[in-house]
């Protein structure tokens, strides 16, 4: 039986451990120490490292983990990341035999130009790095709004029960912005209550699901009537063109406190 366990790191990162009783793969190990501690606590052997993009808080722990165990490192073909031996792009398959785990790769550029996501179709698990967040999306550091929008639409089209293992605990601040731009969404109001209750108990709000994101995430709902009205009322757009609306929403979020 495969499980996914969150390994918190830095301020608000989640490094994801996919494991059975003996082995583990780690997604985006920005720091080695908490991963090594999590492996030791469960007596797990590291079997693979999976990387979504090149940012240091996602790859910084790779050298130290490789000194601990010489395992395969998977990562995006279109980014230069040290130690990546298996270069991946859209449609590629990844196998981690120690776990009986099979993943497929999605190209999701926008946050970075070569960002990839890993989908486990048998389990309906999605590891999407800094592309789709619970209630939000990543900043556009390297890609264009139309690239990011296409990436988010690809993820939003996955089955609604798909669990979204994103890489940061940004949910409450994302949802406060979502409420600002879509105050009339009852699913969003309920989600704010539910996620606040989890944080009050010190629990992660991640994973989310694709269904919940479709219902509450403004970056998947930017062509909805209420969000377009808010964008117009605040002077961000003067027409309803979808890419312009998405870009305006992302811009608004960048300045929102």
Helix (H) or strand (E) holding 148: helix 145-156
Looking at beta carbons only, is 140 or 231 nearer to Zn ion?
Answer: 140
* Two structure tokens written together for 173: 């601040």
User: Considering 19, 23, 58, 222, which one is annotated as catalytic?
Assistant: 58
Q: At what angle do helices 242-255 and 225-233 cross, to 10 degrees?
A: 60
| Least distance between Zn ion and beta carbon 10 (Å) | 12
What minimum distance in Å lies between the beta carbon of 168 and Zn ion? 9
- Residue 68 catalytic? no
Verify whether residue 194 is a known catalytic residue.
no
Which residue of the set 19, 23, 53, 54 is catalytic? 53
Sign, Cα dihedral of 127, 128, 129, 135: negative
Q: Tell me which of 28, 31, 57, 107 is the catalytic residue.
A: 57
Task: For tokens 């939000």, name the residue.
Answer: 136
CA 103 vs CA 65, 119, 190, 225: distances in Å: 21, 5, 33, 36
- Let me know if 58 is a catalytic residue: yes
Shortest spacing between CB 205 and Zn ion, in angstroms:
19
- Residue 129 has which token pair? 């790095």
Q: Per the structure block, which two tokens stand in for 196?
A: 């606040």
List the catalytic residue out of 23, 55, 115, 222: 55
Alpha helices in the chain (DSSP H): 32-42, 56-59, 62-68, 145-156, 171-181, 186-200, 210-216, 225-233, 242-255
Q: Nearer to Zn ion by C-beta: 55 or 250?
A: 55
What is the token pair recorded at 186? 């009852």
Token look-up 């009322």 returns 233
CB of 138 to Zn ion, least distance (A): 6
Closer to Zn ion by Cβ: residue 148 or 228: 148
Q: Interface with Zn ion by CB under 5 A: which residues?
A: 55, 130
Cβ proximity to Zn ion: between 52 and 230 the closer is 52
Catalytic residue (one of 19, 23, 54, 111): 111
Distances (CA, A) of 95 to 59, 65, 123, 125, 186: 20, 19, 14, 15, 41
* Sheet containing 3-9, strands listed edge to edge, beginning at the edge strand earlier in sequence: 3-9, 13-19, 23-27, 45-50, 73-76, 86-88
Instruction: Give the nearest distance from C-beta 74 to Zn ion in angstroms.
Output: 17
Catalytic residues: 53, 55, 57-58, 111, 130, 168
């Amino acid at each position: 039986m495969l499980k996914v366990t969150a390994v918190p790191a830095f301020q608000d990162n989640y490094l994801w451990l996919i494991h059975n009783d003996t082995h583990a793969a780690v997604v985006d190990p920005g720091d080695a120490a908490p991963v090594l501690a999590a492996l030791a606590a469960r007596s797990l052997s590291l079997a693979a490292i999976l990387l979504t993009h090149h940012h240091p808080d996602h790859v910084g722990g790779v050298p130290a983990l490789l000194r601990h165990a010489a395992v395969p490192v998977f990562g995006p073909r279109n980014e230069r990341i040290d130690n990546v031996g298996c270069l991946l792009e859209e449609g590629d398959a990844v196998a981690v035999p120690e776990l009986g785990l099979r993943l497929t790769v999605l190209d999701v550029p926008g946050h970075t130009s070569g960002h990839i996501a890993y989908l486990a179709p048998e389990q309906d698990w999605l590891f999407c790095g800094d592309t789709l967040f619970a209630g939000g999306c990543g900043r556009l550091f390297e890609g264009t709004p139309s690239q990011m929008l296409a990436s988010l639409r690809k993820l939003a089209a996955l089955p609604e029960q798909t669990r979204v293992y994103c890489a940061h605990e940004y949910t409450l601040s994302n949802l406060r912005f979502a409420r600002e731009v879509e105050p009339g969404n009852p699913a969003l109001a309920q989600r704010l209550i539910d996620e606040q209750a989890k944080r009050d108990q010190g629990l992660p709000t991640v994973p989310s699901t694709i269904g919940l994101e479709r219902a509450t995430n403004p970056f998947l709902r930017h062509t909805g009537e209420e969000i377009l009205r808010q964008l117009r009322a605040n002077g961000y757009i003067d027409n309803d063109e979808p890419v312009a609306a998405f870009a305006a929403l992302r811009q608004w979020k960048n300045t929102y406190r």
